[in-house]
A and B are shown apart, each in its own frame.
Chain A
């Protein structure tokens, strides 16, 4: 009756409240930060223990690219910086 435990992680990705996520490669992350004129810690954080971060296998220090569904612009691209715990 109940679905298996592992499936829950994929449910997290599919939930309507969650954005699409991907880990930004290091080189690209540097470029993005330069274009935003921001230090990495000035980007909103996400915990490495966050279900969403865990699903994509993000580690502390990574930059996550989020594609949020937005009522105004349909899709908005933002970032979150993965911090420990």
Chain B
């Protein structure tokens, strides 16, 4: 019994030593521990999974958003929206593929609507958009192809462009910023009267891959 009591007393004396901080503070010292963890940006961009494009070589009238359009390549404007907490730099890669049963060809320069070959010149256009442009689906597109801004769609070949647009982050109220959108479309032209007439087998599939890279606060 006496040994047990002695052991308990010793334990009571020794235990508090282990509960003291490694370096005891003097009376004029105070300690602070600051714990840091990594904050990773949440990248959340709304991207349409599919978009329709119409090849309209004969420039038949087509109703788009209540307006009659007679373009040879008709594509309703589509939008991506940045719902991330970081500003994003957008890179794109565009890869074209002619439909399997089609004998049309994708060419690298404008057809001018002429020629006997069943050629189409199609390019990808993307630009910053505002909330009102999204709501109205009206975008001030470039009037013509511009090699510095647009990407030509080629059959089986990927074409890439870096930093095509910068999307600001969501607002403090977790809403998409007024200019946190980008509009894109396909446009171009086609031979109006090729030797082999256009038919329903003619078509293309275009894969657009968006790459989003966060920008630091100071960069935008």
A and B: interacting chains: no
